[in-house]
């Protein structure tokens, strides 16, 4: 066997061209001045992180562009903005951005209603949209976990759903992503949500309780 045959196969990277650069500038312009919840962190950092996760998971240029623009409709103009995204970046990008949007205008629907509706939309979304959406949620959960470890219970005042609603929403999303076409991102999200639940001390105790009951039943011969 020759040395050449021992070389690992060469992977072809996705084509990343001027469209991605334009999308980055567009996102930077539309989200200018916006920051992450109650912080001085530029919102653009989140969009960059989500695009990075998408590319690391094997996403193509359209998916990376959708990752950069996934909040531009919800936060920067509603349906007129979506039409502009479709015109500038094409129908595939617009479809994914639409699939990552849970509100298209002001005033926004009540929080629980909006999140339940979005969970319903995710169930029927295509694989690419689900990957972009899950990447968004993965970065959110990782950020929440890091902030919780630093600031504790005070962080929940930032969120409309407060502690209980936020934990419910990300658990429900993680379970849905894992239900169909699980991938690297959905598995990482499952891990991150579990870590957050254990950090706040809720789900871990519930699961431990169920495990203890199962062991007790097994030991009793039931």
What positions carry a catalytic annotation? 74-75
C-alpha–C-alpha distance, residues 17 and 12, integer Å: 15
Q: What does DSSP assign to residue 126?
A: -
Q: Are 88 and 79 in contact (CB under 8 A)?
A: no
C-alpha–C-alpha distance, residues 152 and 131, integer Å: 30
Q: What does DSSP assign to residue 37?
A: T
């Amino acid at each position: 066997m020759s040395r050449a045959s021992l070389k690992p196969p060469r992977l072809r990277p996705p084509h990343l061209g001027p469209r991605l650069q334009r999308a980055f500038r567009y996102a930077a312009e539309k989200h200018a001045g916006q920051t992450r919840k109650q912080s001085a962190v530029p919102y653009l950092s989140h969009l960059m992180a989500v695009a990075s996760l998408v590319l690391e998971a094997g996403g193509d240029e359209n998916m990376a562009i959708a990752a950069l623009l996934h909040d531009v409709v919800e936060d920067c103009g509603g349906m007129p903005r979506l039409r502009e995204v479709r015109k500038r970046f094409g129908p595939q990008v617009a479809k994914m951005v639409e699939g990552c949007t849970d509100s298209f205008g002001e005033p926004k629907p009540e929080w629980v209603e909006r999140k339940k509706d979005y969970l319903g939309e995710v169930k029927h979304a295509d694989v690419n949209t689900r990957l972009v959406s899950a990447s968004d949620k993965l970065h959110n959960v990782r950020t929440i976990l890091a902030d919780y470890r630093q600031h504790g219970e005070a962080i929940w005042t930032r969120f409309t759903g407060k502690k209980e609603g936020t934990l419910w929403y990300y658990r429900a999303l993680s379970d849905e992503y894992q239900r169909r076409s699980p991938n690297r991102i959905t598995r990482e999200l499952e891990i991150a949500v579990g870590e957050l639940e254990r950090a706040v001390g809720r789900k871990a105790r519930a699961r431990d309780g169920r495990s203890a009951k199962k062991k007790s039943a097994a030991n009793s011969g039931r």
